[in-house]
Amino acid sequence: MKLPSALVFTVLLAVGFLHCAAEPMELSVLHSLGSSAPSLRGSIVYDPASLKRSANKYVAGSATAGSVVSAGANTDPREMYRVYVEGDGVKLTAAVPLCMLEASEYQEQITLHLDSNGVPWHLDYLVGATSCEKPAKPLGRTPKTLVFIERALAGTRPKLEQMVETTVDGKPEPEKSFIQKYWFYIVPAVLILLLQSGGEEPAKK
């Protein structure tokens, strides 16, 4: 069966629209201690148009909060440890005192807030301590960083999503193909258009 050219054009247009809407965003995550220049810590990749948790990921670099602190071993504990998220016109920052970061044994949470259009507008950086007082006996916790995306959804409460950092083998989760991601949109659209086209009566001579 030969499909009408108008039908083919409609399907291609729909596929092209979905592809454009699904373009992921990548933002750099930087950090600094005191007055030192920011250095790269990792990157956040997210899909502004997708509500799926698997569409977002945090790719950690080789530098950690601990490595920056170690490099500034003689730094005043009252200095601020800062985290930055930058890229594509976005420039956000948040900070905590170095002493609180050390008291938490590097238990961190980074939350990127998006508006209803998927545009970042605020950054939160929290640590697992509420004061600079270290416990009498260190808990010996392994440093851990959690990264979240919080979306402002119209008519509902904001949705908080923890980002996927890596797969079990320590490698970033492989990206799915366009068809794997959006087949459930494309197939119904094609079926509807085919049914509508097949139901048309041939023109009478």
Residues forming beta bridges with residue 79, ordered by sequence position: none
Checking if the pLDDT of 183 tops 70, the result is: no
What's the rounded Cα separation, in Å, for the pair 82 and 65?
10
What's the rounded Cα separation, in Å, for the pair 89 and 177?
27
Tokens of 59: 């790719």
126 neighbors 100 (Cβ within 8 angstroms): no
SS3 label, residue 88:
coil
Sequence-distant contacts of 176-183: CB under 8 A, at least 24 apart: 178/18, 178/19, 178/22, 181/22, 182/18, 182/22
Q: What is the arithmetic mean of pLDDT over 154-166?
A: 59
Q: What is the pLDDT of residues 35-65, one digit of tens each?
A: 899 999 999 999 887 777 667 899 998 888 8
DSSP 122-147: EEEEEES-SSSPPPSS---PPPEEEE
Q: What is the arithmetic mean of pLDDT over 144-161?
A: 75
31 neighbors 65 (Cβ within 8 angstroms): yes
- Residue 76: closest CA among 99, 58, 46: 99
Confidence (pLDDT) at 45: 93
Confidence (pLDDT) at 162: 67
